[in-house]
């Protein structure tokens, strides 16, 4: 995933991503859907910035991520939370939560609808009774502009990171190509990453929620223009395991 850039992730994304604003909107949604919501599991929690912001708003937030560097960074950033290194499609924690979140299109890294459904079942199994699942999807097919080139740069503590990103689309797979230039006191180096995300229609994702035993609604706008799914358990939550 972000093997080349984990240490610089916040430096790049802090230049354009409104974590406090997103956390406030998520908090309002959770309190509307589940007024007693207190505990949250942030799946694909990255560097823990959403977790940290939600904790500031009064929630108890744990996180889960596949990348050990992200788990380490998040644990340092939000030491009150428990952060677990695990695959979102096959994790088992000894805890249940009032809400399970999966934001910033991380669900699309699963690439197939079968894995999405399996993952949503895992989310459901980790909910307290009356709990809520919130998922921010990636873009649907035929909406990405493969000619677009984006440039972002951030600088702090003597480190400057520039990133150029391009998109390729191949059928139901989008491929993000990131090229970094990282400058610090030792000089300048370059790094390269390729991220693959599946492309699913809204109808396909809603069916995946239903197959996973969830009642789901869809907000087409969401936190940005990617939409947002909110779901509750359609029947009694099954046992962990």
Beta bridge partners of 159: 156
CATH superfamily name and code, 6-10+17-140+200-233:
Vaccinia Virus protein VP39 (3.40.50.150)
pLDDT digits (tens, 9 = 90+) for 38-88: 999 999 999 999 999 999 999 999 999 999 999 999 999 999 999 999 999
Topology at the third CATH level for domain 149-198: 2.20.130
CATH 2.20.130.10 in the chain is located at 149-198
CB 108 within 8 A of CB 137: yes
Rounded mean pLDDT, 139-165 = 96
pLDDT reading at 236 higher than 90: no
DSSP state of 237: P
CATH 3.40.50.150 in the chain is located at 6-10+17-140+200-233
pLDDT reading at 240 higher than 90: no
b/e for 59-72, b at 16 or more Cβ within 10 A? Answer: bebbbbbbbebbbb
């Amino acid at each position: 995933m972000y093997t080349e850039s984990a240490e610089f992730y916040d430096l790049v994304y802090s230049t354009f991503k409104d974590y406090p604003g997103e956390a406030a909107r998520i908090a309002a949604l959770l309190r509307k859907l589940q007024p007693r919501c207190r505990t949250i599991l942030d799946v694909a929690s990255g560097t823990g910035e959403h977790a940290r912001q939600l904790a500031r708003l009064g929630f108890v937030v744990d996180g889960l991520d596949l990348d050990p560097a992200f788990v380490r960074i998040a644990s340092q950033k939000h030491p009150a939370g428990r952060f677990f290194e695990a695959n979102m499609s096959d994790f088992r924690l000894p805890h249940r939560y009032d809400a399970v979140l999966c934001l910033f299109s991380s669900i699309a890294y699963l690439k197939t609808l079968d894995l999405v459904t399996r993952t949503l079942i895992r989310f459901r199994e980790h909910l307290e009774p009356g709990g809520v699942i919130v998922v921010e999807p990636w873009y649907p097919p035929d909406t990405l502009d493969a000619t677009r080139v984006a440039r972002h740069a951030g600088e702090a503590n003597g480190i400057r990171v520039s990133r150029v990103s391009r998109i390729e689309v191949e059928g139901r797979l989008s491929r993000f190509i990131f090229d970094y230039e990282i400058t610090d006191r030792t000089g300048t180096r370059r790094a390269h990453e390729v991220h693959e995300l599946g492309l699913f229609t809204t109808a396909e994702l809603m069916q995946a929620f239903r197959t996973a035993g969830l009642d789901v609604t869809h907000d087409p706008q969401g936190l940005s223009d990617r939409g947002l799914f909110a779901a509750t358990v359609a029947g009694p939550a099954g046992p962990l395991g």
